[in-house]
Structure 1
């Protein structure tokens, strides 16, 4: 899905924008203000945020790294498979000893004097320096590979993870079984070195550690009951750092003739997954969704069991995880996002990526065909108006936003011809629209894209996603931000994605936000102080938060927890490729 308005933390830009934040005592709301300083210098090398954007694209799209733009006269050739862990080079104007932090005083504006700046910097950095002295990360270096790659397929590059094209994580009107609720959990002191070892060499040890926990008749009555999604170490528990989850569920017979995906909203921090004793795969990174192919492991018409090994390393003990330490939020471990099974037909729409313009959008649909049968296929692409009401505002299914009496604004057929065998490809379906309703905080107009897959003249799959038409850029002639071509000043707050209710003995309830009602409540508090820009914690949020922000008229600033690194630890993290994977997963 398409985010609202996403802003990236910036330490220098073509408009010399600086961002200052004032943190409240409980660290749950931060007031953000943009101070824009005029720039009179001649053209200079690409600045920190420009280079980081380009380098990040190069890191996970197969593009050359560096600040140079792609030339239409000389198109780049992408490799067949692009690992996500390409290195980022040193940034222009980089502050010595602080990778990715750029500094330059340009004069004018409201820049504080030197003495005041030094005093403020000392007060801010001294507590961090003292905290850092108490953390001694281990010298162990993980060799667990990222699971995300980009492959060159017909029509363009496609993101793959654990052998499958990365799907949409928006809820779809498909056969689905939600697996949230009460699971069983067995706390266990896990070997993090094993957790971060390449699975080709660690698989035997992991299987031995699993023992008979994935057995059909395994007794979990001695395990503690735990809510999923949720956390196994709510405050003040600092002792539980990992363990085994298990749930048993009855799968109806109707799942017998389908392909199936097992989807996780987030598991913090490393997850290994077994379904009926079959190892499905692993994922590292605690805040982004992932999917595993469950087709061959499910047993329709019977009870199935799902076991998840979760290891959440203690921050400050290693320098090869993200984040490694010095974070100002609670390190919630466990299955912190939704879990569900989704049935997929033989020919399906995997995802629909939308790039908005002010008069339309570029749409790219990823299609997958599985099996030996040959089908004559096509796509029906429809554009619908969206209407947000009190009854559908919290719905995770974008199709519920379409008014019952609405007519499609666009109805377009794309012929795919005959498809044979296993295949994945991209299909372009751009559209233009006259007098479009543009998204803004004051008028958060949205549209719904519907993609219907046709196989042998029969509809076999539907995919829906909502989005807004908008453009955010920095004015090249003046120090200001433009939304849809018009100057705008955002009133921003920052929040920690953490449960505050119920209050117990004056302390917040604690735990990650796991329900759409909780997320709406936090966003409503932000709107209550007239905010229209949200900085979402220091890590990617729950998938429903950007969806609700889009509907409520809130711009978003999202980020990954890659900070407080020394040059050495920064290189260790980026060489592994996990930050690049997190960034790509957040963008997907």
Structure 2
């Protein structure tokens, strides 16, 4: 059967899909708050213990959200889930896996009272192997305990508020399960990771493959790449390792004048279908998965971003990935719709802010053509625990997502959050720089930024946050060719210096990575946050046009407007929280796609 990337639509793990179909466990689960943390001692995980689970929650929506059916925004550090599912014992040579897309922040999982999994990190997924715990066909009980300490500043929390109610730029918490829960039956020996890193200049794709355990003998891996019906490459290698990395030659990339139908760009997001087959030494099949990739290179030089070795100006907005009824979890079709809306209003990218987004959103960005910056949700206090947690979770995020063509930059720290004094505390600057180097060790193919917004140290992009509402001021600060040599005339456009002492300039692009932020004048008594108010649609249009024009006419390599949609009290979006444009789409598009004058 010929599979294409279209088969990945809606799959919770779109770059590693296998037959037979996966089983979605979204829907009603038993639910309980455990504010006194009694559940472990009272053995709530044991079979038949139903008394505590008096409420019903709709997974995967967090209990703080209306869509969950719980809608309790109070401070509840421990929650429990329970669901009875009919399971069939896997046949010999097969395994049954239970996948969690994300559980915030620490999760323990039991099947019929037997521990089957543990994970810490609220924004990345994990897998539980149920095989040995399924001793009969029929009903089984899955129980999940999630601990999410709302007052812990060393926990990577992003924009989730540590106070009871949202304030300034922080929002309701997202506790517990907030991404898909799903079952999958797999071969006993199977692929757990397939990564793609294209290298257009050298007409090849670098592939990394990982197995679930060390093989007991030689294995064959066959990779096939196709664009529609056109076979681009087919390669077979032999390995006896659990993890294997190799290069796949793509001869079609050698024809330098015939690349438009091959290369991925936001304007032409061509996706290459991939299959990976794992066989034993005798050629007997062990596993078969479908995947996809985009053939594109990300680069930077002379103060410019380069997409496929050509200058490319970034037209981004800040994306919080938050919805009124479901919070950080996404309602049905919302991930696709956000990508479509961004394209419709003229953006070529989004900076996903303080959130590791659901892989299904990355799929739609890949398929529809949208560049993304991926950013680690911050902790708020520096210390050993923060270092341990952020390092572990960021490593999981980067290694999960590095095969997506849409992702063009990694941002481990934002605005010195968790490192409030890197200029004066050497350990904090070492942490920032270490995260940059860790990111580059995991993925040297993309730019990385130690700290976006200000106090830049190690960085392939100099991202500046500047909320001046005066277009003339923006032009004075950034409208000069010297930006291409890293000269930032205004060293304090935000709360702190743009660069730290010793931050070397090596032709990095300078991007206005947060600006704008105007909101319509709120009603009397309405709680709101923005950087300025406008009184009418015309004033909003004039403000937006003036600021964007100043950014486009500058020596900058791109801009990122704050923000894509309103989010709770932060009402400074281009769209409302319900995704309604605040100006006619054609007008927004005209402003956001404005090009530099010919003389520029």
- Conserved? CA contact 1:181–1:227, under 8 Å: yes
Shift of 1:218: 2.9
Unaligned runs of 5+ in 1: 1-166, 192-204, 386-402, 500-507
For 2:210, the equivalent position in structure 1 comes to 366
* Residue 492 (structure 1) aligned to one of 294, 316, 334: 316
Give the Cα–Cα distance (whole angstroms) in 2 for the partners of residues 512 and 355 of structure 1. 29
Q: CA deviation at 1:562?
A: 2.2
Matched, 1:349 2:195: no
Report matched runs for 1:246-285 at 5 Å.
Answer: 246-254=82-90, 257-285=93-121
Residue of structure 2 equivalent to 1:337: 179
For 1:229, the equivalent position in structure 2 comes to 60
Partner of 2:28: 182
Equivalence for 1:585: 396
Aligned to 2:153: 319
Alpha-carbon shift at residue 255 of structure 1 (Å):
5.0
Displacement of 1:515: 4.5
Partner of 2:334: 518
Q: Which runs of 5+ in 2 are unaligned?
A: 1-12, 66-70, 163-168, 254-258, 400-600
Structure 2 residue aligned with 1:433: 251
Paired residue for 1:39?
Answer: none
Q: Give TM-score scaled by structure 2 length.
A: 0.56
**Larger RCO, structures 1/2 (Cα 8 Å, 6+ apart):** 1
Structure 2 partner of 1:462: 288
Deviation of 1:237 after TM superposition, in Å, equals: 1.9
Once the two structures are TM-superposed, the CA of residue 369 in structure 1 deviates from its matched residue by 5.0
C-alpha spacing 1:561/1:222, structure 2 compared with 1 (3 Å): closer
Cα distance change on mapping 1:277 and 1:168 into 2, 3 Å:
farther
Do the aligned partners of residues 516 and 439 (structure 1) sit closer, same or farther apart at CA in structure 2, a change above 3 Å counting? farther
Distance 1:291 1:489 in 2: 39
Equivalent of residue 473 in structure 1, options 269, 276, 299:
299
Asked if the contact 1:381/1:429 (under 8 Å) is kept, the reply is: no
Contact 1:184–1:246 (8 Å) recurs in 2: yes
The aligned residue for residue 560 of structure 1 is 376
For 1:467 and 1:414, the matched residues in 2 are separated by 20
1:382 Cα deviation from its structure 2 partner? 0.7
Contact 1:367 1:427 in 2 (8 A): no
Secondary structure at the counterpart of residue 242 of structure 2? strand
Aligned to 1:194: none
Tell me, yes or no, if the aligned pair for 2:321 and 2:355 is still in contact at 8 Å: no
* 1:108 alignment partner in structure 2: none
Is the CA contact (8 Å cut-off) linking 1:482 and 1:488 kept in structure 2? Answer: yes
Cα 1:178–1:526 change in 2 (3 A) is: same
Cα separation, 2, equivalents of 1:483 and 1:427 = 25
SS for the counterpart of 1:557 is strand
Tell me how far 1:313 sits from its aligned partner. Answer: 1.4
Distance 1:461 1:426 in 2: 15
Cα distance change on mapping 1:321 and 1:410 into 2, 3 Å: same
Measure how far apart 1:170 and its partner are.
3.8
Name 1:208's counterpart in structure 2.
41
1:49-128 map, 5 Å: none
Determine if contact 1:532/1:555 at 8 Å carries over to the other structure: yes
Q: How far does residue 221 in structure 1 lie from its aligned partner after superposition?
A: 8.7
Change (3 A) 1:298 1:168: farther
* Post-superposition CA distance 1:468-500 (Å, at most 9, x none): 12122221xx3221111111111111122122x
Is the Cα contact below 8 Å between 2:206 and 2:245 reproduced in 1?
no
2:232 to 404, 409, 418: 409
Distance 2:53 2:39 in 1: 22
Which SS does the other structure have where 2:340 is aligned? helix
> CA–CA distance in 2 between the matches of 1:170 and 1:487?
32
**In the alignment, structure 1 residue 217 sits paired with structure 2 residue 42:** no
Equivalent of 1:539 in 332, 352, 355: 355
Report the counterpart of residue 570 of structure 1 in structure 2: 382
The number of aligned residues is: 364
Deviation digits for residues 381-422 of structure 1 (CA, Å, limit 9, x no counterpart): 11121xxxxxxxxxxxxxxxxx5xx25322222234xx6xxx
CA contact (8 A) 2:98 2:129 kept: yes
> For the Cα contact (< 8 Å) 2:101–2:181, is it kept in 1?
yes
SS for the counterpart of 1:551 is helix
| Cα distance, 1:519–1:513 mapped onto 2, change above 3 Å | farther
Which residue in the other structure is 1:50 paired with?
A: none
Root-mean-square deviation (Å)? 2.7
Q: Which residue of 1 aligns with 2:140?
A: 304
Residues 424 and 190 of structure 1: CA distance in aligned 2, closer, same or farther (over 3 Å): farther
Structure 2 residue matching 1:273: 3-state secondary structure: strand
Secondary structure of the structure 1 residue equivalent to 2:333 = helix
Match of 2:517 in 1: none
Match of 1:143 in 2: none
Post-superposition offset of 1:376: 5.8
Deviation per residue, 1:111-152 (Å, 9 max, x gap): xxxxxxxxxxxxxxxxxxxxxxxxxxxxxxxxxxxxxxxxxx
